[in-house]
Amino acid sequence: MKHYDAIIIGAGQAGVPLAKKLAEAGKKTVLIEKRWVGGTCINDGCTPTKTIIAAAHAAHQARKASLLGLEIDTVKVDLKKIMKRKDEIVDSFRSGAKKGVESTKGLDLIHGEATFSGPKELTVKTSDGAELLFSADLIFINTGARPKIPSTPGLTGGNYLTSTTILDLKEIPEHLVVLGGNYIGLEFAQLFHRFGSKVTVLEKSYRIVGGEDEDVSSTLTEILEEEGLKLLTKSTLEEVKGVQGKLSIQLKTADGTKNIKASHLLLAIGRTPNTDTLNLDIPGIKIDKNGYVLVNEKLETSVKGIYALGDVNGGPAFTHIAYNDYTIVYRNLIEKEKLSTANRQVPYCMFTDPQLARVGLSAAQAKEKGLDFLVAKIPMTQVARGIETGQTLGFMKAIVDRKSRKILGACMLAAEGGEIMAVLQMAMQGDITADTIRYGVFAHPTFSESLNNLFMNMIEK
C-alpha cells in the first residue's frame, strides 16, 4: 500500500490541472488514467470533432463561393487527409498534456484502471497486469462518461457507430442515419452531409434541440433541411438488421412503421457515466439512478474527502464546466475560499453552421419562473457583417428583465455565435444593462456591433 496526500482518478479536463496544482501546492499526488491523458475533450470530443468540422465548413464555403462571385469547379473531400490532420492535432494536444503532468514535481502518473477496495483505498490494475494499492485522505473522481447504447434489438458492435468510433472512419458514409437530434448528433450530421453523405436524423421528440426555445428549433430545422439533411421527428428506433454497409433500420413514427436502408448508423442519444467499475459501494459513495455520482455544491460526494468533478457528477457535460469544477475544488481546499457551483453561468456552443450558443435563461425558462421580461431579437439578415460575408442564417436573441434592464439570457443562432454570446455573458457577469449595450460603441463592421440593434426594439414576451 502506497499512501499519497491526494489521488485523482481520470486525467480529464478537471483531473489534469487539479493534479498539477495539488502537487505544486506541496501535496504528494498520483494521477491514475486507464486510457489517454486529456480525457474526452482532447481525445474523442472537442478537439477532433471541431478539427473535422473546420474541414466540412471549408468544403461548404467553397461550394457556395459563387454567391460571392467566385467560381470553383469541383470540391474534392479527402477524408484520409482530414483524419490525418485530426490525428496530428489530437496527438499534439495529448502529448502536451502528458508532458505537463510528467514534468510536475511531486506528481506521479499511473496508467491503469482504478477501483475502490476500501473507504479511502484503491486497487489499480495496470496495463501490464500488475496490481497496485494506493490510499489517500483526498480522492477525486474525474472518470467522465461514454456514449450511451440503447437496448434495441439487432444492435451489435459491428453495425453502429458512436461519437468515438465515427472519428476513425476511413471512408465517407454513403447514407448516415443519426439517432438523436441534439448537439452531438447534429454536429456529425451536418459535417458528414457536407462531406457528401446522404444524412437522415431520427429524433424521438417532436422537434430537434428540445432544450431550446421553439424558434431556435424551428429555425435550425429549416436551415438544416434547406441544406439537404432529412430530419424525422417523433421517430424511435425499433430494430436494426445487417452490418456496416448494408443496414435495414426499422422505425416507429407518427405515420406508422418505416424501414430505412443505410450504410452507417450513429448513436447519439446521450452518455453514460464511467462509474460502473469503480466499486463505489465500498466507500459508500451515493449515485443517482443513472449512475452519476451525487455531489453537493462544493462537489464533495456523500463521503467526506472524496470529490467528483466533470461529466461523472451529472452536471452540465461541457469541458469548461469540468475545468471550473477543478478551480472550485482547488481554491476551496488550498486557498480556503468558499466557492460553490450555485448560480454559476453555464455557457455552451453547438458547432453546427450557424453555431448555436447560449448562456443564462431561455424565454421558456424565464416564463416558467414567472419573470417579467422582454425579448430582444434580430435576424441575421439585418446584421451588416452577416450580409457582407454572406452569413445571414439564424438570429440573435436576448432575454431582458423589464424593471432592472439586466440581461437574463442570450441565444445566438448565428455565424460566430459563440463569440457573440460571450460578449453578452460578460455583460451579465458585470450587471451591464441592455440599455448600456444599446448605446455602447463597438468596432464597425463586426458581428458584435449589431448588439446595438438587438436591444433597439425589445418586445413583449
> Could you give the residue numbers annotated as active site?
444
Three-state SS at 298:
coil
Q: Which sign, positive or negative, has the C-alpha torsion 435, 440, 446, 448?
A: negative
Exposure on the CB side of residue 292, measured as CA atoms within 13 A: 17
Task: Yes or no: say if 203 and 217 are a contact pair by the CB < 8 Å rule.
Answer: no
The dihedrals phi and psi of 141, each to the nearest 5 degrees, come to -95, 120
Listed in sequence order, the residues at least 6 apart from 259 whose beta carbon sits closer than 8 Å to its beta carbon are: 248, 249, 250, 251
What is the C-alpha separation between 66 and 384, in angstroms, rounded? 20
What is the C-alpha separation between 23 and 30, in angstroms, rounded? 9
What is the C-alpha separation between 436 and 439, in angstroms, rounded? 5
Amino acid at 352: T
Q: Which helix (DSSP H) or strand (DSSP E) does residue 423 occupy?
A: helix 417-429
Q: Length of the chain, please?
A: 461
What is the C-alpha separation between 356 and 348, in angstroms, rounded? 8
Q: How many Cβ atoms from other residues are within 10 Å of residue 277's Cβ?
A: 11
